[in-house]
């Protein structure tokens, strides 16, 4: 129930919807039941032409059937059969109209509540996902996260908003029907109630496993979405390695498993309907027999017309009973999905602003690493690293693969936190500043170009919505991108496709550089920004990077060491430790690891 009430909180302010829903539903149910009750006076008027009105009205004003029969007979004796029929039919039409108008209003209100709940829930989930650390996404399947944000949230939405039906509409309908049935014949109603619990027990047994199956279906669906995402992202590699049969088989196996679970769930849900229908017919048959014996025996308690109205009302009683059972089943499924969604909402980022963190506008002196150690699990990646980056200087990080270069760079924007030691800006621990203001100081260009299926303009202006056309074009010129952009079909308004698939590697990289230029940050972080490019593209991108780094502090990781020879400081990392520092000339003179790396690249021709 704790999970359920937390999910219900996303419907707040629920009173805004619950109060009108209850009012509209109450009117709809009362008049909907009255429609069936009006069958009795209609039949009495039609077939009992000799009916005489009692001199006194019924003693109880709550006995609806007796009152309706009394006034029908009174009208019949006063204004005649035809006019009485006209009045009775008019009342039925008016009752049906009122019932359906308010049923529409109640369903409309419920739909507004569903949409409101979905909006709040999906917003909360997505906002929290965006706040999580990068490390979280390294350990989770993207498809599983997508499944929670899409299908699970949808399931929760219907289960939460179905609450009002479970606790109000269907029970109210059921109770109203029962009250009406008791008014007509308490003996028949007591007899029929012997069978209703049996029907409810059978339906509950059928849907018992739905919660467990809902969990299994979520896991399988998440796997399918992950496989789909991987297949679409890696389609070039899949085709290059003729791996399509393997990818198809993997996806299809998961698809078959998902279909099996859904089929089993559907079978249980669908079985509830014929079982309830059979039980309903069984009860109606029993009631027809028992009620018929009462009438045949001359019982004064039950008139033929009232008996027909009784059957008409009773035939509808299994619908709310079935709806209640189904709603509880949906709530069980919703709670299972809700637990997964709430787990995602409750996952908190480990890197957050300190309570007293303040914004930083700029750094004036240097960035320092003081005895920094970091790793994953039991594996140490950086081991007591210390150095500083003076403002306005370019610092290059080089070394063998796995030496800790990218990890070291990730510490600067606080994508990760050191196990021990400090990263400091102008003598202050970086944790003293807000995350947002620290990252505002930086422009980042990675080896993997991250572009969006949007226009070239919007990709360059990403994160800077106030950018003008002139500012975007100026940034593109610095990035050596303007010429190729104006040569595209629609210039800066050309859509570049998913992840920039319509552009070449060099063009994508220059768009990313233009994006960083437009931000105009004082600090640039360049992680293997040219390693995946051909020689011609690399030259153009390198020229763009040189333009970008002018008058800025830069931290550079480069696969091709020839591109960082002009750096003010080169730091050589090996197995998480700094083994050499100096300029290109100084490091060559040391005849150490840096010189070996240079000679290896020279020998290999890279």
- Token pair, residue 127, equals 């906002």
Count how many Cα atoms sit within 13 Å of the Cα of residue 360 in the half-sphere of its side chain.
27
Any idea what the Cα angle at residue 226 is, between residues 222 and 232, rounded to 5°?
145
Asked if 342 and 365 sit in the same domain, the reply is no
Q: Percent of the chain, pLDDT > 70? A: 78
Instruction: Look at residue 433 and tell me if it is in a domain.
Output: yes
pLDDT category, 516, cuts 50, 70, 90? confident
Instruction: Look at residue 536 and tell me if it is in a domain.
Output: no
- Token pair, residue 389, equals 């980056």
CA distance 224 to 230: 10
pLDDT category, 408, cuts 50, 70, 90? very high
Question: Any idea what DSSP says for residue 455?
Answer: B
434 to each of 362, 413, 427, how far by Cα in Å? 13, 11, 16
Asked if 241 and 377 sit in the same domain, the reply is no
Asked if 392 and 474 sit in the same domain, the reply is no
- Is it the case that residue 235 has pLDDT exceeding 50? yes
Asked if 362 and 511 sit in the same domain, the reply is no
Mean pLDDT of 202-213: 59
Q: Cβ of 333: how many Cβ atoms within 10 Å? A: 25
| Phi and psi, residue 455, nearest 5° | -80, 160
Q: Cβ of 36: how many Cβ atoms within 10 Å? A: 20
pLDDT category, 201, cuts 50, 70, 90? low
Asked if 319 and 386 sit in the same domain, the reply is no
415 and 446 in contact (C-beta within 8 Å)? Answer: no
pLDDT category, 212, cuts 50, 70, 90? low
Q: What is the pLDDT of residue 197?
A: 65
Asked if 220 and 152 sit in the same domain, the reply is yes
Sheet with 366-376, side-by-side order of all strands:
379-390, 366-376, 420-425, 428-429
- Is it the case that residue 570 has pLDDT exceeding 90? yes
CA distance 52 to 191: 31
For 340-396, what is each residue's pLDDT tens digit? 888 888 888 888 888 999 999 888 889 999 999 998 888 899 999 999 999 989 999
pLDDT category, 524, cuts 50, 70, 90? confident
State the residue for tokens 């502090």: 553
Asked if 261 and 380 sit in the same domain, the reply is no
Using DSSP, state whether 28 is helix, strand or coil: helix
Question: Any idea what DSSP says for residue 450?
Answer: -
CA distance 105 to 111: 10
279-283 contacts at long range (C-beta below 8 A, 24 or more positions apart): 279/195, 279/198, 279/199, 279/202, 279/318, 280/199, 280/315, 280/317, 280/318, 282/195, 283/192, 283/195, 283/196, 283/199, 283/314, 283/318
CA distance 458 to 298: 85
Q: Which of 396, 386, 510, 389 is nearest to 445 (CA)?
A: 510
Instruction: Look at residue 541 and tell me if it is in a domain.
Output: no
Q: What is the pLDDT of residue 571?
A: 94
Q: What is the pLDDT of residue 372?
A: 92
Contacts of 374 (CB under 8 A, 6+ apart): 380, 381, 382, 404, 407, 411, 416, 417, 418, 419
- Is it the case that residue 53 has pLDDT exceeding 50? no
Strongest mean pLDDT among 309-323, 521-535, 571-585: 571-585
Of the three residues 291, 313, 346, the one that is the final residue of a domain is 346
Sheet with 569-574, side-by-side order of all strands:
442-446, 523-527, 553-557, 394-398, 569-574, 577-582
Q: What is the pLDDT of residue 205?
A: 62
CA distance 161 to 109: 11
Asked if 465 and 570 sit in the same domain, the reply is no
Asked if 229 and 104 sit in the same domain, the reply is yes
- Is it the case that residue 232 has pLDDT exceeding 80? no
Q: What is the pLDDT of residue 501?
A: 83
Range of lowest pLDDT (421-425, 430-434, 445-449, 563-567): 445-449
Phi/psi zone of residue 582: left (φ > 0), alpha (ψ -120 to 50 degrees), beta?
left
Q: Percent of the chain, pLDDT > 90? A: 16
pLDDT category, 48, cuts 50, 70, 90? low
Q: What is the pLDDT of residue 66?
A: 61
Using DSSP, state whether 434 is helix, strand or coil: coil
Q: Cβ of 458: how many Cβ atoms within 10 Å? A: 16
Mean pLDDT of 163-183: 77
Mean pLDDT of 60-73: 62
Instruction: Look at residue 583 and tell me if it is in a domain.
Output: yes
Range of lowest pLDDT (56-65, 66-75, 348-357): 56-65
Strands 420-425 and 428-429: antiparallel
Strongest mean pLDDT among 79-93, 119-133, 198-212, 413-427: 413-427
Instruction: Look at residue 81 and tell me if it is in a domain.
Output: yes
147 and 225 in contact (C-beta within 8 Å)? Answer: yes
Instruction: Look at residue 512 and tell me if it is in a domain.
Output: yes
The more confidently predicted of residues 578 and 295 is 578
CA distance 238 to 242: 6
State the residue for tokens 């989770």: 140
Cross-strand partners of 375: 380
Q: What is the pLDDT of residue 289?
A: 78
539 to each of 480, 487, 531, how far by Cα in Å? 11, 20, 11
Instruction: Look at residue 544 and tell me if it is in a domain.
Output: no
Domain that holds residue 481: 449-520
Mean pLDDT of 173-198: 75
Taken as a whole, the chain contains a residue count of 606
Question: Any idea what DSSP says for residue 280?
Answer: H
Mean pLDDT of 204-218: 62
Instruction: Look at residue 101 and tell me if it is in a domain.
Output: yes
Asked if 466 and 394 sit in the same domain, the reply is no
Range of lowest pLDDT (246-255, 445-454, 487-496, 597-606): 597-606
Q: What is the pLDDT of residue 371?
A: 94
342 and 6 in contact (C-beta within 8 Å)? Answer: yes
| Phi and psi, residue 582, nearest 5° | 150, -175
Of the three residues 346, 376, 392, the one that is the final residue of a domain is 346
- Is it the case that residue 420 has pLDDT exceeding 90? yes
Q: Which of 520, 508, 387, 392 is nearest to 450 (CA)?
A: 508
The more confidently predicted of residues 63 and 416 is 416
Mean pLDDT of 157-168: 70
Q: Which of 350, 340, 353, 351 is nearest to 125 (CA)?
A: 340
Total number of domains in the chain: 3
Chain-wide mean pLDDT for the chain? 79
pLDDT category, 57, cuts 50, 70, 90? low
pLDDT category, 606, cuts 50, 70, 90? very low
- Is it the case that residue 302 has pLDDT exceeding 90? no
Phi/psi zone of residue 46: left (φ > 0), alpha (ψ -120 to 50 degrees), beta?
alpha
Which uninterrupted H or E stretch holds 569? Answer: strand 569-574
CATH number (domain holding residue 318): 1.20.1560.10
Asked if 337 and 397 sit in the same domain, the reply is no
CATH number (domain holding residue 406): 3.40.50.300
CA distance 370 to 429: 10
Of the three residues 298, 328, 346, the one that is the final residue of a domain is 346
Asked if 364 and 236 sit in the same domain, the reply is no
């Amino acid at each position: 129930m704790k999970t359920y009430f937390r999910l219900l909180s996303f419907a707040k302010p629920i009173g805004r919807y619950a109060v009108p829903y209850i009012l509209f539903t109450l009117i709809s149910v009362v008049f909907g039941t009255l429609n069936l009750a009006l069958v009795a006076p209609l039949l009495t008027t039609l077939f009992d032409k000799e009916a005489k009105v009692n001199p006194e009205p019924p003693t109880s004003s709550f006995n609806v059937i007796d009152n309706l029969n009394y006034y029908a007979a009174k009208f019949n004796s006063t204004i005649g059969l035809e006019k009485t029929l006209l009045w009775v039919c008019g009342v039925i039409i008016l009752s049906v109209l009122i019932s359906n108008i308010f049923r529409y209003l109640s369903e409309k209100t419920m739909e507004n509540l569903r949409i409101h709940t979905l909006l709040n829930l999906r917003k909360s989930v997505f906002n929290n996902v965006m706040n999580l650390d990068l490390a979280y996404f390294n350990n989770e399947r993207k498809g599983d996260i997508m499944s929670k944000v899409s299908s699970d949230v949808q399931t929760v939405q219907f289960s939460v908003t179905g609450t009002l039906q479970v606790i109000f509409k269907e029970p109210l309908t059921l109770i109203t029907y029962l009250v009406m049935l008791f008014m007509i014949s308490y003996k028949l109603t007591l007899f029929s109630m012997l069978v209703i619990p049996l029907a409810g027990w059978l339906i509950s047994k059928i849907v018992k496993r739905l919660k467990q199956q809902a969990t299994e279906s979520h896991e399988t669906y998440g796997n399918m979405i992950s496989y789909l995402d991987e297949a679409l992202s890696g389609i070039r590699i899949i085709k290059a390695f003729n791996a399509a049969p393997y990818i198809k088989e993997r996806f299809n196996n998961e698809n078959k498993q998902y279909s099996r679970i859904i089929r089993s769930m559907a079978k249980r849900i669908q079985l509830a309907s014929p079982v309830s229908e059979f039980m309903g017919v069984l009860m109606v048959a029993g009631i027809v027999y028992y009620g018929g014996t009462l009438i045949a025996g001359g019982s004064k308690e039950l008139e033929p017309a009232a008996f027909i109205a009784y059957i008409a009302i009773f035939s509808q009683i299994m619908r709310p009973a079935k709806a209640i059972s189904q709603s509880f089943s949906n709530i069980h499924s919703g709670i299972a999905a809700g637990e997964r969604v709430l787990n995602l909402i409750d996952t908190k980022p480990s890197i957050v602003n300190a309570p007293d963190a303040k914004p930083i506008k700029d750094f004036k002196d240097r960035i320092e690493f003081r005895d920094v150690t970091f790793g994953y699990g039991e594996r140490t990646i950086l081991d007591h690293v210390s150095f500083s980056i003076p403002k306005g200087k370019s610092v290059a990080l080089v070394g063998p693969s796995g030496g800790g270069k990218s990890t070291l760079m990730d510490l600067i924007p606080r994508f990760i936190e050191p196990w021990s030691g400090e990263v400091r800006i102008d003598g202050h621990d970086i944790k003293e500043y807000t995350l947002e203001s620290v990252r505002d100081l930086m422009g980042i260009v990675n080896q993997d170009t991250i572009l969006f299926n949007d226009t070239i303009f919007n990709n360059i202006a990403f994160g800077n919505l106030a950018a003008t056309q002139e500012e975007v074009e100026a940034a593109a010129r610095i990035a050596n991108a303007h010429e190729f952009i104006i040569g595209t079909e629609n210039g800066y308004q050309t859509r570049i496709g998913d992840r920039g698939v319509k552009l070449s590697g060099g063009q994508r990289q220059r768009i990313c550089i233009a994006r960083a230029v437009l931000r105009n940050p004082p600090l640039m972080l360049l992680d293997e920004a040219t390693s995946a490019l051909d020689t011609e593209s690399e030259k153009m991108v390198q020229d763009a990077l040189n333009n970008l780094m002018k008058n800025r502090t830069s931290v550079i990781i480069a696969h091709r060491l020839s591109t960082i020879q002009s750096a003010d400081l080169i730091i050589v990392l090996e197995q998480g430790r700094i083994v050499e520092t100096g300029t290109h000339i100084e490091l060559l003179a040391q005849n150490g690891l840096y010189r070996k790396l240079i000679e290896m690249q020279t020998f290999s021709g890279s």
